[in-house]
Amino acid sequence: MTAWIQEWTPPRPEGTATVRVLCLPYAGGGATRYRTWATAMPPGAELHAVELPGHGRRLPESPAAGLTGILDALTPLAAQPGPPLVLFGHSMGALLAHELCRSLLAYDVTPAALVLSGMSPAHLVDRSVQRALAEDPDALLHHVRELGATPPEVLDAPALRALVLRTMRADLRLLASFPDPSPADPLPAGVPVTALSGQDDGRYPPHAVAAWAAFAARWEGMRTLPGGHFFPWQDDTVPRLVASLAHTAAAATTARPAARPAVPASRLAVKETS
């Protein structure tokens, strides 16, 4: 059991899960954002979402100090034996998913698909803007209100507002710390990489998201969808697309002998009970 990963699909009997989908959060976001995606998943799929310290249910905890600590915690969990793994990340979560994918390769675990949504590669992130927002309390609050992902009543409650701003401050610093990817060392051909963008996303517009193509040996292309920065939650298009990739990964594994034995979901995730 771990606080780092929440499961949003019913537990599967040992050895019966056909694919795992692991979703990583945007700055300030929590695992609950992915809860409704469970209904889109194909039969036999497990839908997991990462809950970072200081986020969601872990809001009272201190945020993670940096990328290394996050990867040190997540990589062994994601690398546990089991069915094929599909990684999805939105905004900051896309950068986390990319780095987690690279970290898993060092464990000799190759994700079946990587979906990078609503985010450019790290070298195009304006690090000075992220740091400036993190250090200016008024600008940070304005930024959080402008994003619109935090309920106004939360920001109007002083104690909750302080926790939310602490988390966002840590996430902006994290955004400024991601290493630049190298075209000389792209993700290998064994990892199909797909990018998604919102056509009206003013933060990370389609041309910035498309820059991921230079860092993937197997580039599956980019889809531009209606909506702004939080386009994955405006309808069921994105969860259905992720489900399609999960179905493909599961079908490919069914067609050949399993390389790794399955692991019970209970060893990986905290099940929603409320």
The closest alpha carbon to 210, from 218, 200, 221, belongs to 221
The pLDDT tens digits for 232-241 are: 999 999 999 9
Average pLDDT for residues 186-212, to the nearest whole number?
Answer: 97
The pLDDT tens digits for 239-263 are: 999 999 999 999 987 665 444 444 4
The pLDDT tens digits for 142-167 are: 888 888 778 888 888 898 889 889 99
Kindly state the DSSP code that residue 51 receives in the 8-state scheme.
-
For residue 254, the model assigns a pLDDT of 67
For residue 267, the model assigns a pLDDT of 42
For residue 63, the model assigns a pLDDT of 93
Helices (H), ranges, 22-136: 67-78, 92-106, 127-135
For residue 255, the model assigns a pLDDT of 63
> Judging by beta carbons within 10 Å of its beta carbon (0-12, 13-18, 19+), is residue 52 exposed, middle or buried?
buried
Alpha-carbon distance 115 to 45, whole Å? 17
* CA 231, 2, 104, 102 torsion-angle sign: positive
The pLDDT tens digits for 1-51 are: 489 999 999 877 877 899 999 999 999 999 999 999 999 999 999 999 999
For residue 154, the model assigns a pLDDT of 84
For residue 195, the model assigns a pLDDT of 98
User: Is 223's pLDDT higher than 90?
Assistant: yes
Strand partners, 196: 117, 223
Structural contact between residues 242 and 267, judged by C-beta atoms closer than 8 angstroms: no
* CA 217, 220, 223, 229 torsion-angle sign: negative
Q: What angle, 0 to 180 degrees and rounded to 10, lies between the N-to-C axes of helices 92-106 and 67-78? A: 60
Which is higher by pLDDT, 140 or 210? 210
For residue 258, the model assigns a pLDDT of 45
The pLDDT tens digits for 69-128 are: 999 999 999 999 999 999 999 999 999 999 999 999 999 999 999 999 999 999 999 999
